[in-house]
Protein backbone atom coordinates (compact mmCIF):
# COMPACT_ATOMS: atom_id res chain seq x y z
CA UNK A 1 0.00 0.00 0.00
CA UNK A 2 1.44 3.35 -0.97
CA UNK A 3 1.31 6.49 1.16
CA UNK A 4 -1.67 8.01 -0.67
CA UNK A 5 -3.74 4.84 -0.29
CA UNK A 6 -2.86 4.66 3.39
CA UNK A 7 -3.85 8.30 3.95
CA UNK A 8 -7.14 7.71 2.13
CA UNK A 9 -7.97 4.73 4.39
CA UNK A 10 -6.88 6.62 7.52
CA UNK A 11 -9.16 9.56 6.61
CA UNK A 12 -12.06 7.17 6.04
CA UNK A 13 -11.44 5.45 9.39
CA UNK A 14 -11.45 8.82 11.18
CA UNK A 15 -14.70 9.78 9.43
CA UNK A 16 -16.27 6.46 10.41
CA UNK A 17 -15.11 6.89 14.02
CA UNK A 18 -16.63 10.37 14.18
CA UNK A 19 -19.90 9.15 12.63
CA UNK A 20 -20.15 6.27 15.11
CA UNK A 21 -19.33 8.48 18.09
CA UNK A 22 -21.89 11.07 17.03
CA UNK A 23 -24.57 8.41 16.61
CA UNK A 24 -23.90 6.48 19.82
CA UNK A 25 -22.91 9.22 22.26
CA UNK A 26 -26.41 10.50 23.17
CA UNK A 27 -27.55 6.97 24.01
CA UNK A 28 -24.39 6.01 25.90
CA UNK A 29 -24.34 9.21 27.95
CA UNK A 30 -28.11 9.20 28.51
CA UNK A 31 -27.96 12.75 27.07
CA UNK A 32 -25.62 13.76 29.93
CA UNK A 33 -23.16 16.54 29.08
CA UNK A 34 -20.32 14.43 30.53
CA UNK A 35 -19.10 12.28 27.62
CA UNK A 36 -17.61 9.87 30.19
CA UNK A 37 -20.94 9.39 31.99
CA UNK A 38 -21.43 5.83 30.71
CA UNK A 39 -18.18 4.64 32.28
CA UNK A 40 -18.82 6.50 35.54
CA UNK A 41 -22.43 5.40 36.00
CA UNK A 42 -21.62 1.78 35.12
CA UNK A 43 -18.68 1.86 37.55
CA UNK A 44 -20.90 3.19 40.31
CA UNK A 45 -23.51 0.44 39.72
CA UNK A 46 -20.82 -2.25 39.72
CA UNK A 47 -18.76 -0.87 42.59
CA UNK A 48 -15.60 -0.37 40.56
CA UNK A 49 -13.81 2.54 38.90
CA UNK A 50 -14.56 4.11 35.50
CA UNK A 51 -11.18 3.09 34.02
CA UNK A 52 -11.91 -0.58 34.72
CA UNK A 53 -15.26 -0.28 32.97
CA UNK A 54 -13.58 1.45 30.03
CA UNK A 55 -11.01 -1.36 29.88
CA UNK A 56 -13.71 -4.03 29.63
CA UNK A 57 -15.64 -2.13 26.94
CA UNK A 58 -12.46 -1.44 24.97
CA UNK A 59 -11.32 -5.05 25.23
CA UNK A 60 -14.55 -6.21 23.57
CA UNK A 61 -13.57 -4.34 20.40
CA UNK A 62 -9.97 -5.53 20.52
CA UNK A 63 -11.10 -9.15 20.91
CA UNK A 64 -13.38 -8.80 17.87
CA UNK A 65 -10.52 -7.34 15.82
CA UNK A 66 -8.16 -10.13 16.94
CA UNK A 67 -10.77 -12.80 16.17
CA UNK A 68 -11.22 -11.38 12.69
CA UNK A 69 -7.44 -11.24 12.18
CA UNK A 70 -7.16 -14.91 13.14
CA UNK A 71 -10.18 -15.96 11.06
CA UNK A 72 -11.21 -13.43 8.36
CA UNK A 73 -14.10 -15.68 7.25
CA UNK A 74 -15.74 -15.69 10.70
CA UNK A 75 -19.35 -14.43 10.65
CA UNK A 76 -19.53 -10.89 12.03
CA UNK A 77 -22.25 -9.25 14.12
CA UNK A 78 -21.13 -5.87 12.75
CA UNK A 79 -18.64 -4.89 10.04
CA UNK A 80 -15.02 -5.21 11.11
CA UNK A 81 -14.40 -1.65 9.88
CA UNK A 82 -16.74 -0.35 12.56
CA UNK A 83 -14.77 -2.28 15.23
CA UNK A 84 -11.60 -0.47 14.18
CA UNK A 85 -13.41 2.87 14.20
CA UNK A 86 -14.93 2.17 17.62
CA UNK A 87 -11.52 1.10 18.96
CA UNK A 88 -10.23 4.55 17.99
CA UNK A 89 -13.17 6.13 19.82
CA UNK A 90 -12.51 4.02 22.92
CA UNK A 91 -8.83 5.01 22.90
CA UNK A 92 -9.88 8.67 22.92
CA UNK A 93 -12.39 8.06 25.71
CA UNK A 94 -9.81 6.13 27.74
CA UNK A 95 -7.33 8.96 27.27
CA UNK A 96 -9.97 11.44 28.47
CA UNK A 97 -10.65 9.30 31.57
CA UNK A 98 -6.93 9.13 32.30
CA UNK A 99 -6.52 12.91 31.92
CA UNK A 100 -9.53 13.54 34.14
CA UNK A 101 -8.16 11.17 36.79
CA UNK A 102 -4.76 12.89 36.75
CA UNK A 103 -6.41 16.16 37.71
CA UNK A 104 -8.26 14.57 40.64
CA UNK A 105 -5.35 12.91 42.41
CA UNK A 106 -4.30 15.07 45.35
CA UNK A 107 -1.85 12.79 47.13
CA UNK A 108 -1.32 9.13 47.93
CA UNK A 109 -4.17 7.73 49.96
CA UNK A 110 -6.96 10.07 48.91
CA UNK A 111 -8.47 11.53 45.75
CA UNK A 112 -11.73 13.21 44.89
CA UNK A 113 -14.11 12.67 41.98
CA UNK A 114 -16.86 15.28 41.60
CA UNK A 115 -19.41 12.60 40.78
CA UNK A 116 -18.39 9.87 43.23
CA UNK A 117 -16.63 11.72 46.04
CA UNK A 118 -13.55 10.53 47.92
CA UNK A 119 -11.73 7.33 46.96
CA UNK A 120 -8.45 5.58 47.76
CA UNK A 121 -5.35 6.05 45.64
CA UNK A 122 -2.47 3.58 45.77
CA UNK A 123 1.21 4.21 44.94
CA UNK A 124 1.63 3.72 41.21
CA UNK A 125 -1.76 5.16 40.26
CA UNK A 126 -1.61 7.95 37.68
CA UNK A 127 -0.52 11.24 39.18
CA UNK A 128 0.90 9.89 42.46
CA UNK A 129 4.57 9.97 41.57
CA UNK A 130 5.24 13.44 43.01
CA UNK A 131 3.46 12.68 46.26
CA UNK A 132 5.32 9.39 46.64
CA UNK A 133 8.69 11.04 46.08
CA UNK A 134 7.82 13.94 48.40
CA UNK A 135 6.95 11.52 51.20
CA UNK A 136 9.70 8.90 50.80
CA UNK A 137 12.53 10.65 48.93
CA UNK A 138 12.37 14.39 49.66
CA UNK A 139 15.81 15.11 48.17
CA UNK A 140 14.85 13.51 44.86
CA UNK A 141 11.47 15.24 44.95
CA UNK A 142 13.08 18.66 45.49
CA UNK A 143 15.37 18.09 42.52
CA UNK A 144 12.46 17.21 40.16
CA UNK A 145 9.45 18.99 41.67
CA UNK A 146 9.15 21.36 38.73
CA UNK A 147 7.81 18.39 36.73
CA UNK A 148 4.90 17.75 39.09
CA UNK A 149 1.98 20.08 38.37
CA UNK A 150 0.56 22.04 41.30
CA UNK A 151 2.64 20.07 43.83
CA UNK A 152 3.42 23.19 45.84
CA UNK A 153 -0.28 24.06 46.09
CA UNK A 154 -1.08 20.50 47.14
CA UNK A 155 1.63 20.56 49.77
CA UNK A 156 0.32 23.81 51.20
CA UNK A 157 -3.29 22.59 51.30
CA UNK A 158 -2.19 19.25 52.76
CA UNK A 159 -0.20 20.95 55.49
CA UNK A 160 -3.10 23.28 56.35
CA UNK A 161 -5.61 20.42 56.45
CA UNK A 162 -3.41 18.36 58.76
CA UNK A 163 -3.03 21.18 61.33
- pLDDT, tens digit, for every residue of 100-136? 776 555 444 555 555 556 666 555 555 556 666 666 6
Residues 63 and 101 in one domain: yes
Residues 115 and 56 in one domain: no
Residues 118 and 73 in one domain: no
Residues 37 and 22 in one domain: yes
Kindly report the pTM of this predicted structure.
0.60
Please count the structural domains in the chain: 2
What's residue 154's pLDDT?
44
Q: HEC profile for 27-82?
A: HHCCCCCCCCHHHHHHHHHHCCCHHHHHHHHHHHHHHHHHHHHHCCCCCCCCCHHH
What's residue 108's pLDDT?
47
What's residue 34's pLDDT?
86
Residues 81 and 35 in one domain: yes
Residues 66 and 143 in one domain: no
Residues 79 and 111 in one domain: no
Residues spanned by the domain of 22: 3-105
Residues 112 and 74 in one domain: no
Residues 65 and 76 in one domain: yes
Residues 36 and 24 in one domain: yes
Domain final residue, candidates 62, 83, 105: 105
Domain final residue, candidates 75, 105, 135: 105
Domain final residue, candidates 87, 105, 123: 105
Q: Which of 55, 50, 53, 148 is nearest to 108 (CA)?
A: 148
What's residue 126's pLDDT?
54
Amino acid sequence: MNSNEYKKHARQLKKDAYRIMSAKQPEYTNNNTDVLHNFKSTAKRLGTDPMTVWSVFFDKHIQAIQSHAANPDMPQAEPIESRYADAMNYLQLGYALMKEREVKVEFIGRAHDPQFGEYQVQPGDAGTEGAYLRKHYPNVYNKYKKYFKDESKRSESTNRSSE
